[in-house]
Structure 1
Amino acid sequence: MTVGLTAATTSFMGDSYTFLDCPGSVEFAHDMRAALPAVDAAIVVCEADEKKLPQLQIILRELEELKIPRFLFLNKIDRASQRIRETLAMLQPASRVPLVLRQIPIWKGELIEGFVDLALERAFIYREHKASEVIALQGGDLDREKEARFSMLEKLADHDDALMEQLLEDIQPPRDAVFDDLARELREGLICPVLIGAAARENGVLRLMKALRHEAPGVAETAKRLGAPESKDALGYIFKTLHSQHGGKLSLTRLVAGHLDDGATLQSSSGGAGRISGILAVNGAYDTKRASAEAGDTVALAKLDPVKTGDMVSGGKTQPAALVAAEPTSAVLAISVAATDRKDDVKLGQALMRLHEEDPSLLIVQNPKTHDTVLWGQGEMHLRVASERLRDRFGVKVTSHPPAIGYQETIRKPITQRGRHKKQSGGHGQFGDVVLDISPLPRGDGFKFAEKVVGGAVPRNYIPAVEEGVVDGLTRGPLGFPVTDVQVTLTDGSYHSVDSSDLAFRTAARVGLNEGLPQCQPVLLEPIHVVEIVCPTDATAKINAILSARRGQILGFDTRDGWSGWDCVRAMMPEAEIGELIVELRSATAGAGSFTRQFDHMAEVTGRAADQIIAAHQHAA
């Protein structure tokens, strides 16, 4: 499985092509989203497997929304078990535009031995690892070709009135006109051409390359799509950032206009400017220097520190307009990470920042309560790969564990409690005495402090210290968790003219709270989130079962707006049950399901569940 974007440049029939191999897994989809604006066209490789249809739909929807021209390459055609017409009907729901079959297979018994190019009107027999051989069509194959070609022309005619008239009058359109229609309708996003082959045998690859050469739009169309102004200045799009342990920062860039020389200064759409320290060819190792780059080239720019993935860069004197950035999908799984060797703590922080710059769908969060570093990602594999990159590329070994759940506790019963601190050890002593009313607040109100002291029992200058002591005492309640939804009111107390101090009253307040809270019927609270899951309709029943098993309260479900064959399920779930929800969700949906979550409220946990949580927390402490 591909876990990161790779780029390679090659030539075909005298033209240069750069291929960006994007991960197909949803866990690494941000690389694809960031790279798509840079491309002239996309090739979506798929198989005739109905189970993978939801993932195909996700990818095609992304391309549709970004208006990227796209081909569908139906791979492993040598293993096909159904007719191409049935396969096309199965795949069509994944695309909002017509899938236009450009080729049909030639069958020999139960095996496919070649194909017919419907636009070219030629038949070919596959030869493994060699160019296909042209043959003459006969009998039933000729009839099938005519029927399939007419179907292709009908779909093209939906967007070409002249072609529609020719078909109605039974006039065969010129071959050049058919190719012009294919190129125009691909460019305008009106169709998605479908080609067939078996990549492992190199069957169909040459014909795919020829389709790219003759039908895919060029860099000028990409520049228009990016809103590039007409200018002689170099203009590029940064689609990937890489860091190496010794080589520094590389910015993979598609130049969509102009000419770029090594050493040039570039303005960034995010506001920075920097001088290029090298132009490198995109060929896997990024170790071949170039003196310059032209519009259409894909290159790596060395040590261009002010830019980031998603930036437009310009060789002109003005700042280029920014694109709408590809927003990372919501992170769904987290681990707490720490350097195995504490001497690497600073190094870990720097490495994590570089990882985030390379992959913005990795989020780094500092837990203010536990001081843990929490790494959020898109799934188990995503986080595992991130940990391996920390070790292999940045030289930092890490340990990891599930992040702490944000448990809290509150009280059910009000009480009045005295807190007294007295210490005499020669000279000035310490004396503070307070009376506190401790009472529960409605859920979600947090903490409130008040004072109703009369007669100067506690001098006013000591009241802030009393509040500080109360806050200290709330950081860890009798169950071992932070205390919330509590009001503490200072009602009385006493002081000593010599021995009283801020420290004494702060200590007295903390003593009073620590002695009083256990008498207030403390109860455990856990965070509850609203979870919204999107999944293929045939997996909805499985999702409902998963939610129920994880103490989820289903709020309802509906069809996913604009997505044929998808549902949206909403539920309330404890945070503790969400941790590895994505693992079960992906298993139940063949990797296609996803979810978002939003904190909603804190809820009481009682009985055996509370006992287990408290015991585990005390053991860990």
Structure 2
Amino acid sequence: MGQNGSNGSSPAPGANPISKLGPRCIALVGPFQSGKTTLLEAILARSGAIQRQGTVDAGSSVGDASAQARHHKMSVEATFATTSFMGDSYTFIDCPGSVEFIHDMRSVLPAIDAAVVVCEADEKKVPQLQLILRELEDQNIPRFLFLNKIDKADKRVRETIKLLQPASRVPLLLRQIPIWKGDLIAGFVDLALERAFVYKEYAPSQIVDLAGEDLSREREARFTMLETLADHDDELMEQLLEDIQPPRDKVFDDLARDLRDRIVCPVLLGCATRANGVLRLLKALRHEAPGVAETAVRLGVQANGDAVALVLKTFHTTHGGKMSVARVLAGQAGDGTTFTTSAGAADRVSGVFKLMGSSFEKRGPASAGETVAFGKLDHAKTGDTLSSGKQPHAPLADVKPLPPVLAIAVQAKERKDDVKLGAAFAKLSEEDPSLTVVHNAENHEVIIWGQGEMHLRVATERLADRFAVPVVTHPPTVGYRETIRKPITIRGRHKKQSGGHGQFGDVVVEIKPLTRGTGFAFEEQITGGVVPRNYIPAVEEGVTDALQHGPLGFPVVDVSVTLIDGSYHTVDSSDMAFRTAGRIALVDGLPQCQPVLLEPIHLVEIVCPTDATAKMNAILSGRRGQILGFDTREGWDGWDCVRALMPESEIGDLIIEVRSGTAGVGSFTFKFDHMAELTGRAADQIVAARRAAE
């Protein structure tokens, strides 16, 4: 029986139990540059969806079709492609492997039936693999592991499994072993099917007979596989103890059940570039991956005959407008269906589309299990639960973006594009919820927060390429402040005569420093009505005005101002005059109060593999960080959490060093802790730069 044959199960004539599972949705996930996009291409070629297998390097793949993905030769967003295999429909989702774009993967996981984790025998990528597997484990997703680039393996498969096992909480179950020809892998043995296959480049593998050393290796490896399965099957355990060979159908049933119960992660071998092992992977998905019914139960879908769908991704296309990619989990939805989000917003579907990379092809209604794009759902956002019922459906998933770690200030290259930039930001945030746009009114800056340098670079490229708004960027302004060390009492007088009524305001204020973090306090101790009560609020406004820009060029904090004396004119005094007098008193007085610069200090927590902890300590120390200590990361074997106090100015590009020192997997969170005095050359340079900018 060739690789296009069955896996050994024997359904009744005319029956097709697999098709009852409905259209399935499978995510291809894994570390950066593990070959996910190439595997998608091989799957589409093997299943007949495309005539020829393209490549990432040539820019001819179905995945990575965006201008940014092709330019950088890496996946920067989830790619969807629908195909069929042996009469069953599948949508495969090629998810980015870089931690900077991981939110696209996290957003699609709740609605998929299973994941194929693509990885290779590279010890440096084990931490990345652990990040991916942890997401799948936390969301209870059944998963296969596809050991890619097997043709370039320099380790025995058992050594590789031992290397990768620490990344998985459940056993990595070897389903296949390689057939060696010298130092090269010529094919594989399917341990469940008990058949050997020799690879044929870009063609189905050829069955060969097992003999000699290959046969003894197969028997040993098969027994190890069955022992693992027997941990959850008493009947199988008894058969092994009695040296009874279990029926092949029972072995496949156990494999399917353990996969769906997420108590093992089956491991398959292959080479996506040559399409080796791809048909066997498709067979495993067909017979063992769960269908939409089980996924709906896992998510808690309450359909009641209505259509229910989960939005996985949002696109804004040039000609088709907004497209909401969604998995239909129950019922049927077509052109004209009215969907209501869990928040109660309703929209009418304008077109249903089949997905194939960057192309959208109009099609008929979508049934349970299908993954399609719905047109013009203006209120729907990525992660929304949609229902055609009279009442909104409870949210099926809540995948929040990871905390941002890097920011840039952005402005349109040409002032005429300012309005367009605001609209582009709104669409960009819809397409990628892990981007956060913040308007900093104090510094008149628009700040984009993201997951790393490449993430923000792609975002600015999209603004120019997709939304026709070229931008310029610079580091965000650090939130420096200033305060005073010395008290002073000073008079502020504003007197102006220009014909008719003049302007007169006269105040005496006492300026004192306050405890760090107190902020600003204003009091009055006026006696005898030397400053009428109705003018005192205006004095406070003038004082507040002056505190916005202190003698060093920054807002002034931790200052107490007390109005103690003054005078007024019955005709020429006014609110504006006393406001001006209050401001003059502060402008003249603050430079005499020994002003000092304050810089914001944040509490930073870095998470990293344990073997990188020493590097993180060195990085923190080199950035003026005060290390508070470290602990093991809760729930993560082999990871630490390092805590430190660090100036905001040093956090700016911290993530670049953290990722460089942790093979791309380290990250951090931070929150404001306190303001601290900054003196000396560093303070002088900051003040000089501020004055030059002004």
TM-score by length of 1: 0.99
CA displacement 1:14-41 (0-9 Å, x = unmatched): 1111100010111001111110112110
Matches within 5 A, 1:3-152: 3-152=76-225
The two structures, once aligned, show a CA RMSD in angstroms of 0.9
How big is the shift at 1:180?
Answer: 0.5
How big is the shift at 1:247?
Answer: 2.1
Aligned: 1:427 with 2:532: no
Does the 8 A contact of 2:553 with 2:687 survive in 1? yes
The letter of the residue matching 1:488 is: V
In 1, Cα distance between the equivalents of 2:280 and 2:364?
34
The letter of the residue matching 1:98 is: P
The letter of the residue matching 1:556 is: G
Of 403, 407, 413 in structure 2, the residue corresponding to residue 334 of structure 1 is: 407
The letter of the residue matching 1:109 is: G
Partner in structure 2 of residue 260 of structure 1: 333
Does the 8 A contact of 2:301 with 2:396 survive in 1? no
Does the 8 A contact of 1:280 with 1:286 survive in 2? no
The letter of the residue matching 2:466 is: R
How big is the shift at 1:79?
Answer: 0.6
CA displacement 1:161-193 (0-9 Å, x = unmatched): 111111111111111001001101100111100
How big is the shift at 1:45?
Answer: 0.4
Matches within 5 A, 1:471-486: 471-486=544-559
Partner in structure 2 of residue 446 of structure 1: 519
CA displacement 1:602-621 (0-9 Å, x = unmatched): 00001111111111111122
How big is the shift at 1:324?
Answer: 3.5
Aligned: 1:218 with 2:291: yes
Does the 8 A contact of 1:274 with 1:304 survive in 2? yes
Does the 8 A contact of 1:309 with 1:357 survive in 2? yes
Partner in structure 1 of residue 307 of structure 2: 234
CA displacement 1:499-542 (0-9 Å, x = unmatched): 11111111111111011001111000000000000001111111
In 1, Cα distance between the equivalents of 2:598 and 2:319?
48
The farther-off stretch of 442-451 and 240-249 is 240-249
In 1, Cα distance between the equivalents of 2:371 and 2:605?
39
Aligned: 1:608 with 2:663: no
Does the 8 A contact of 2:311 with 2:324 survive in 1? yes
In 2, Cα distance between the equivalents of 1:78 and 1:567?
35
Matches within 5 A, 1:199-348: 199-229=272-302, 231-348=304-421
Does the 8 A contact of 2:603 with 2:643 survive in 1? yes
Of 366, 384, 391 in structure 1, the residue corresponding to residue 439 of structure 2 is: 366
In 1, Cα distance between the equivalents of 2:201 and 2:241?
41
Percent identity over the alignment is: 70
Does the 8 A contact of 1:28 with 1:382 survive in 2? yes
Unmatched 5+ stretches in structure 1: none
In 2, Cα distance between the equivalents of 1:259 and 1:462?
69
Matches within 5 A, 1:509-548: 509-548=582-621
In 2, Cα distance between the equivalents of 1:323 and 1:447?
46
In 1, Cα distance between the equivalents of 2:591 and 2:356?
67
- Secondary structure of the residue aligned to 1:287 is strand
Aligned: 1:463 with 2:536: yes
- Secondary structure of the residue aligned to 2:177 is strand
- Secondary structure of the residue aligned to 1:300 is strand
The letter of the residue matching 2:559 is: V
In 2, Cα distance between the equivalents of 1:70 and 1:286?
28
Unmatched 5+ stretches in structure 2: 1-73
The letter of the residue matching 1:210 is: K
In 2, Cα distance between the equivalents of 1:293 and 1:408?
57
- Secondary structure of the residue aligned to 1:288 is strand
The letter of the residue matching 2:366 is: A
Aligned: 1:587 with 2:636: no
In 1, Cα distance between the equivalents of 2:318 and 2:470?
14
In 2, Cα distance between the equivalents of 1:168 and 1:270?
57
In 1, Cα distance between the equivalents of 2:358 and 2:602?
45
The letter of the residue matching 1:604 is: E
How big is the shift at 1:246?
Answer: 3.5
Aligned: 1:404 with 2:477: yes
The letter of the residue matching 1:281 is: K
The letter of the residue matching 2:371 is: T
| Aligned CA distance change for structure 1 residues 230 and 277 (closer, same or farther; 3 Å) | closer
In 1, Cα distance between the equivalents of 2:146 and 2:200?
19
CA displacement 1:395-431 (0-9 Å, x = unmatched): 1111110000000000001110110111111211111
CA displacement 1:562-616 (0-9 Å, x = unmatched): 1111111000000000000000011111110000001000000011111111111
Q: Which runs of 4 or more aligned residues in structure 1 lie more than 3 Å from their structure 2 counterparts after TM superposition?
A: none
- Secondary structure of the residue aligned to 1:263 is coil
Aligned: 1:568 with 2:641: yes
The farther-off stretch of 572-581 and 158-167 is 158-167
How big is the shift at 1:230?
Answer: 5.1
In 1, Cα distance between the equivalents of 2:497 and 2:520?
33
In 2, Cα distance between the equivalents of 1:429 and 1:326?
64
The farther-off stretch of 59-68 and 239-248 is 239-248
The letter of the residue matching 1:227 is: G
Partner in structure 2 of residue 380 of structure 1: 453
- Secondary structure of the residue aligned to 1:365 is strand
Does the 8 A contact of 2:302 with 2:393 survive in 1? no
How big is the shift at 1:286?
Answer: 4.0
- Secondary structure of the residue aligned to 1:207 is helix
In 1, Cα distance between the equivalents of 2:553 and 2:318?
43
TM-score by length of 2: 0.89
The letter of the residue matching 1:584 is: E
